[in-house]
Amino acid sequence: MSLLREISKMIDHSILHPTITDEILRKECEVAKKYDVASVCVKPYMVAKAVEYLKDTNVLVGCVIGFPAGNSKEEVKVFETIEACKDGAVEIDMVINIGKALQGDWEYVENEIRLVTDACHANGAIVKVIFETDYVTEESDIIRLCEICTKVKADYVKTSTGFGFVKQQNGDYNYTGATIRTLELMKRSIGPGVKVKAAGGVRTLDQVLAVKEAGCTRTGATATGAIMEEAMKRFGR
């Protein structure tokens, strides 16, 4: 596989902003199709339309669950997962219950991840478990989450939603998203059956190459067009 294709097949093209309309979804699916990325990542009600727009392509359709704050009950996350799979999603990006992780209720967190993972696998989908590392910042907690995901046979661990906004000293809200240090920690802490997805703040080709070097096989991106155009200039079509 050429480096250019490796890069395109790392990208999950994110179509998740609250203001996205059906027409924007259609246009963004065209972007995903043009660059033959790995997948689109869409909101639950958009799955069926995304599947329609991307039929007869190699671009997969993924769906977020419990997004972006992870606050839904376990049963609701499982229901969302099954419904998304019925609509044609073959990849599920779930947000953990962040508060439960921060308070160390690992029994709850493990059960939740297991339930969604089992629902995904029973319905022909893979699961990516979002830790939201702007909130879950302690290395010991990240390691524990990686161990849980390995234990329950999740397919991917993932850093962020891209919406984990933290209040800054000047009063503004922003997020860091994926960092190389966190990605390398996650890579070291997972078992051989689990992969790593970077998400949040990966906006340039150099950042994609950096997370690839850190061990990621997928990355979320909204700047897919700019990334791929730069990749074609640098590595050829």
Catalytic residues: 93, 158, 197
Helix axes 139-151 and 106-122, enclosed angle (nearest 10): 40
Say how far residue 111 (Cα) sits from the centre of its chain.
Answer: 20
Tokens at residue 9, please? 């097949």
Pairwise CA distance, residues 116 & 36, whole Å: 28
Which long-range contacts (C-beta less than 8 Å, at least 24 apart) are formed by 101-110? 101/131, 101/136, 101/141, 101/145, 102/135, 102/136, 102/141, 104/141, 106/144, 106/148, 109/145, 109/148, 110/148, 110/151, 110/152
Name the one residue in this structure whose structure tokens are 């259609």: 26
Helix (H) or strand (E) holding 127: strand 126-130
Pairwise CA distance, residues 158 & 216, whole Å: 9
